[in-house]
Amino acid sequence: MSRHPDQPVDARVELDPHDVPTPDVWPDAPPVASPGAAPVSRRAVLLAGLSGAAALSALGLTGCVASSPSSSRNYIEPNPIYPPGRSPAGRAAVRPVPPAPTPTGPAAPPVTGTPLTLRVIPRATWTRAAVGSNIHPLNGVHRITVHHAGGKPYWSTDAASTYRTLESIRGGHRAQGWADIGYHFIVDRAGRVLEGRPLRYQGAHVSDNNEHNIGVMALGNFNDQRPATAQLNALNATLNALAAAYRIPVQRVYTHRELGKTACPGASLQNHMDRIRSDARLARG
């Protein structure tokens, strides 16, 4: 196999973002029975002496998965929150995250079309981590690819759960030797759009097809659930804004399965993408 763009030169195996496990039970998801197997606790993993990627895998914190078709500002909470002002009873309030280190490296690709007015929750809201050094500049935008998270269905709509989940996915990708979370933008079920990997860097979301490719991921497994209406509206807005800003024709807005052997982004989201690319809801270059 060829080397993943983010992996060290001496890496022995290339892994796609959708080839690593995700949480078996997402925050706030309905209980899921696991016949014949007891749930793995953090204490059990620590006592077993697991470390690195093995420990993350056992805890289900390594990011998105897809099966084959057969199966430096201080943090200010965006106002309003999506949905406005709501937080599940008993859940601790979202605490400010210290600002990440001042970014260095290449500049973001210049906007060549309509100014990008997309409202995005900054990366510093959910992580203080800097990207790794084994990373490449994006060097312009020629296409966009849509993904789902995969794994077990994701039902949460509160900001805190989204932030924890993204940090878990980022940690899983880092444990594989990658520079950072693989996606540039993430859309959650409440319609929040969050910055993932800074856009000035090449992503790690489609094996052998990351060059000049913006990765947009929707939280959920859309083989097993449907995207929320707010999520689809935010995804549509994100794709339209990016396509207009970088002059990307609809023919170069892909889903993961169209570029690789995977079930991603799931049947429901694939159907949605087919519809919006054919009925003028997605900008046409």
Q: Which of these, 211, 229, 213, lies nearest to 268 by C-alpha position?
A: 229
Q: What pLDDT sits at residue 185?
A: 97
Q: What pLDDT sits at residue 106?
A: 80
Beta strands in 188-230 (DSSP E): 193-195, 213-218
Q: Secondary structure of the chain: what % helix, strand, coil (to 5)?
A: 25, 10, 65
- The strand order across the sheet containing 193-195 reads 193-195, 185-187, 213-218, 143-148, 253-255
3-state SS, residue 54: helix
User: What pTM value is reported for the model?
Assistant: 0.67
- pLDDT average per 10 residues of sequence, the chain (285 residues): 42 38 36 38 37 40 37 26 36 44 69 85 94 90 96 94 95 90 96 95 91 96 97 96 94 95 96 92 65
Helix (H), strand (E) at residue 260: none
Query: Which single residue is written with the structure tokens 């093995």?
Result: 54
Q: What pLDDT sits at residue 86?
A: 37
CATH 1.10.8.80 fits 42-67+113-278, yes or no: no
8 Å CB contact between 226 and 127: no
